[in-house]
């Protein structure tokens, strides 16, 4: 039964995307959101594999927008065993690949994205998980105050990667009183993320606790061939005065 309900929507979603070679979110929603046709094919293939019994997620080498297998492994090492009663907020959840890992590690996951079609795809991808709440949320247009009365311990920040937006997003994450750990994806690959994190570290508001993912053995390469010297992601503890 659930399979039928689950299949109906992705097909509608994929048909919607099939019309265009690239799906672009409307500019006022998420200016930098472009989902490639190839990424949609990956998503489809991953769902097909799941239905055939496998549960392998696409790696960063397959879809540059998601996290690597190595980052997921490190994430499990970092919070596994201590996060089972905690809530994670995933800011920028895309097709739901990392949401899936978080939903196994945490008691609850709140998955945010500016693009409703992606939240729908995430929900379909994770149809068998029952601890994920999906919220259409744009980090610079919408009110972060809606999270303040919830108990959220960990944030996985992976939405816009430009310096100004990341600065604002970090500031907003720090205003959620219960947040104690923020994980920054694309720390290595995106200069904007790195600079923003470093500013908060210098200001004594964040303290790095672990480097995660690709790059443990020296420089690594993105799918497009670009060499990255820094580690893929960083986890920082929140320092509160």
Ligand X SMILES: C[S@@+](CC[C@H](N)C(=O)[O-])C[C@H]1O[C@@H](n2cnc3c(N)ncnc32)[C@H](O)[C@@H]1O
Binding site for ligand X (CB under 6 A): 30, 32-33, 65-67, 90, 92-94, 97-98, 112-115, 118, 137-140, 158-160, 165
**Contact assessment for residue 191 and residue 164, using Cβ atoms and an 8 Å cutoff:** no
Query: Token pair 């670009």 is at which residue?
Result: 226
Select 26 or 85, whichever has its Cβ closest to ligand NAG. Answer: 85
Nearest to 133 by CA among 142, 150, 144: 150
The answer to whether residues 12 and 24 touch, using CB atoms and an 8 Å cutoff, is no
Residues 64 and 38: beta-carbon distance below 8 Å: no
Residue 105 interface partner, choices ligand NAG, ligand X, none, CB cut-off 5-8 Å depending on type: none
HSE-up of residue 20 (Cα within 13 Å, Cβ side)? 10
Q: Which residue minimizes CB distance to ligand NAG?
A: 85
SS3 214: coil
Q: Give the HSE-up count for residue 91: Cα atoms under 13 Å, Cβ half-sphere.
A: 27
Q: Which stretch binds ligand NAG (CB under 6 A): 29-37, 50-58, 77-85, 221-229?
A: 77-85
Per CB under 6 A, which of residues 83..102 are in contact with ligand NAG?
A: 84-85
Shortest separation between residue 231's beta carbon and ligand X, angstroms: 16
- Per-residue CA distances from 100 to 24, 68, 191 (Å): 24, 13, 27
Least CB distance to ligand X at residue 221 (A): 18
Judged by beta carbon, residue 80 or residue 177, the one nearer ligand NAG is: 80
Which of residues 144 and 210 has its CB atom nearest to ligand X in the complex? Answer: 144
Give the binding site for ligand NAG (CB under 6 A).
Answer: 82, 84-85
């Amino acid at each position: 039964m659930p399979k039928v309900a689950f299949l109906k929507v992705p097909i509608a979603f994929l048909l919607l995307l099939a019309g265009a070679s690239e799906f672009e979110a409307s500019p006022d929603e998420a200016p930098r959101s472009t989902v490639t046709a190839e990424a949609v094919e990956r998503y489809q293939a991953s769902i097909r594999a799941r239905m055939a019994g496998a549960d392998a997620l696409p790696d960063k080498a397959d879809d540059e927008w998601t996290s690597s297998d190595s980052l997921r492994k490190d994430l499990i090492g970092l919070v596994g065993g201590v996060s089972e009663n905690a809530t994670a907020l995933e800011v920028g959840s895309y097709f739901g690949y990392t949401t899936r890992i978080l939903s196994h590690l945490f008691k609850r996951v709140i998955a945010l994205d500016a693009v409703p079609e992606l939240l729908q795809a995430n929900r379909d991808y994770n149809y068998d998980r029952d601890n994920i709440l999906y919220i259409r949320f744009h980090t610079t247009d919408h009110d972060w105050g809606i999270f303040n009365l919830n108990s959220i311990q960990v944030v996985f920040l992976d939405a816009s990667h430009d310096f100004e937006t990341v600065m604002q997003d970090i500031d907003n994450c720090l205003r959620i009183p219960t947040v104690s750990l923020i994980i920054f994806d694309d720390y290595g690959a995106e200069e904007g993320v790195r600079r923003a994190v470093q500013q908060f570290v210098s200001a004594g508001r964040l303290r790095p606790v672990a480097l995660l993912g690709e790059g443990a053995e020296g420089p690594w390469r993105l799918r497009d061939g670009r060499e990255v010297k820094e580690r893929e992601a960083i986890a920082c503890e929140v320092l509160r005065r």
